[in-house]
């Protein structure tokens, strides 16, 4: 099925560094969602974006809905060890439509 292009695939950083990851699509989405998944758990919603150009923060996390509606990025500032996990983007085309998922970005933080 359709998937989003998410990059980077993995990152290994030092504690305190900032992190940036992004997703791109050939299709337009009405919604961009960012999730974090810990091992053996279901994904947890971090940020939901609904308008082109929207910039939303959740603590140290900031995400933006690209103006073309075909991309989104997620930034994490001042990373800490508990930021370790896999981050997924997902695009939504409407309330009754399924989400399209990125392949994930695996983040490792060295204390």
Partner 1 sequence: GAVVSQHPSRVICKSGTSVKIECRSLDFQATTMFWYRQFPKQSLMLMATSNEGSKATYEQGVEKDKFLINHASLTLSTLTVTSAHPEDSSFYICSARDQGAGTEAFFGQGTRLTVV
Residue ranges binding partner 1 (CB under 8 A):
1, 3, 30-31, 33, 35, 40-45, 48, 50, 88, 92, 94-99, 101-104, 106
Nearer to partner 1, 14 or 95 (CB): 95
Q: Do 98 and 27 contact (CB within 8 A), yes or no?
A: no
Nearer to partner 1, 66 or 102 (CB): 102
User: Hey, how many other C-beta atoms are within 10 angstroms of the C-beta on 34?
Assistant: 24
Distance CA 2, CA 91 (A): 11
Q: Which helix (H) or strand (E) holds 104?
A: none
Nearer to partner 1, 1 or 14 (CB): 1
Q: Minimum CB separation from partner 1 for residue 83, in Å?
A: 18
Nearest Cα residue to 51 out of 43, 63, 41, 39: 63
Pairing relation of β-strands 85-92 and 31-37? Answer: antiparallel
Q: Minimum CB separation from partner 1 for residue 94, in Å?
A: 7
Q: Minimum CB separation from partner 1 for residue 45, in Å?
A: 6
Q: Minimum CB separation from partner 1 for residue 16, in Å?
A: 26
């Amino acid at each position: 099925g359709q998937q989003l292009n998410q990059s980077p695939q993995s990152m290994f950083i030092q504690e305190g560094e900032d992190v940036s990851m992004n997703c791109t699509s050939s299709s337009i989405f009405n919604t961009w969602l960012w999730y974090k998944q810990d091992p053996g758990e279901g994904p947890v919603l971090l940020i939901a974006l609904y308008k082109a150009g929207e910039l939303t923060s959740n603590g140290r996390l900031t995400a933006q809905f690209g103006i073309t509606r075909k991309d989104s990025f997620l930034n994490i500032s001042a990373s800490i060890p508990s930021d370790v996990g896999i981050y997924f983007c997902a695009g939504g085309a409407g309330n009754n439509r399924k989400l399209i998922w990125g392949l994930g970005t695996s983040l490792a933080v060295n204390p």
